[in-house]
């Protein structure tokens, strides 16, 4: 709430680059609705809004490909205190990966980060963005006209040992071929 990040845009910066720059301060994603764009807060504890799988009542899974990818386990944001020109360092941690002995660091320096609170928010945003942009699988299902980007879904695919696992929809591709009777969606999945 009430977060108004200071940022600098160089003359000639394109609109999409400026938008990505502003969104780098927060873990939000951009959602388009016809001619408008909205941000969505990608909370890790968001409730699932739809189920796919082999259980009765679930939307059927035609094919699935699942993986476990390691994202960064630690992020660091570096700012600069304008009062004494000293560095401000703040870290965010993925304790699950760190407990496994995986230490992958992602850093970002921004001189516009002028206090510890804003620097910590940036470190948290970098970690969350890394977690939500890592593809963890692909799902092929009959077309679901209600599926939207960044929805959290629950997946049960007993053929692969997946039981009520939550994923977030990172991308949607609809395949339509009338002569071959294909009308499916391919969903790219990431961490919820």
Please give the share of the chain, as a percent, with pLDDT higher than 70: 95
Half-sphere exposure of 102 (CA within 13 A, CB side): 13
Q: What is the pLDDT of residues 10-38, one digit of tens each?
A: 888 888 888 877 777 777 888 888 888 88
| Cα 153 to Cα 145: distance, rounded to the nearest angstrom | 14
Task: Using a cut of 0.75, tell me whether the model's pTM lies above it.
Answer: no
pLDDT of 97 reads 80
* Burial readout 106-140 (b: 16 or more C-beta within 10 A, e: otherwise): bebebeebbeeebbbbbbbbbbbbbbbebebbbbe
- Identify the band that residue 89 occupies on the pLDDT scale cut at 50, 70 and 90: very high
The whole-number pLDDT of residue 2 equals 63
How many alpha carbons fall within 13 Å on the CB side of residue 118? 19
């Amino acid at each position: 709430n009430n977060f108004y990040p200071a940022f600098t845009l160089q003359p000639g910066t394109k609109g999409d680059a400026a938008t990505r720059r502003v969104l780098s301060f927060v873990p939000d994603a951009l959602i388009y609705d016809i001619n408008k764009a909205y941000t969505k807060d990608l909370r890790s504890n968001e409730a699932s809004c739809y189920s796919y799988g082999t259980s009765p009542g679930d939307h059927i899974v035609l094919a699935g490909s699942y993986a476990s990818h390691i994202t960064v386990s630690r992020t660091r944001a570096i700012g600069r205190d304008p009062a004494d020109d000293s560095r401000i360092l703040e870290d965010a941690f993925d304790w699950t990966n760190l407990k496994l002995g995986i230490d992958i660091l992602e850093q970002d320096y921004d001189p516009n980060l002028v206090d510890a609170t804003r620097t910590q928010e940036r470190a948290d945003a970098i970690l969350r963005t890394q977690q939500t942009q890592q593809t963890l699988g692909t799902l092929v299902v009959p077309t679901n006209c209600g599926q939207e980007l960044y929805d959290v879904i629950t997946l049960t695919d007993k053929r692969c040992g997946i039981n009520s696992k939550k994923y977030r929809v990172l991308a949607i591709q609809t395949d339509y071929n009338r002569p071959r009777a294909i009308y499916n969606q391919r969903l790219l999945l990431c961490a919820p």
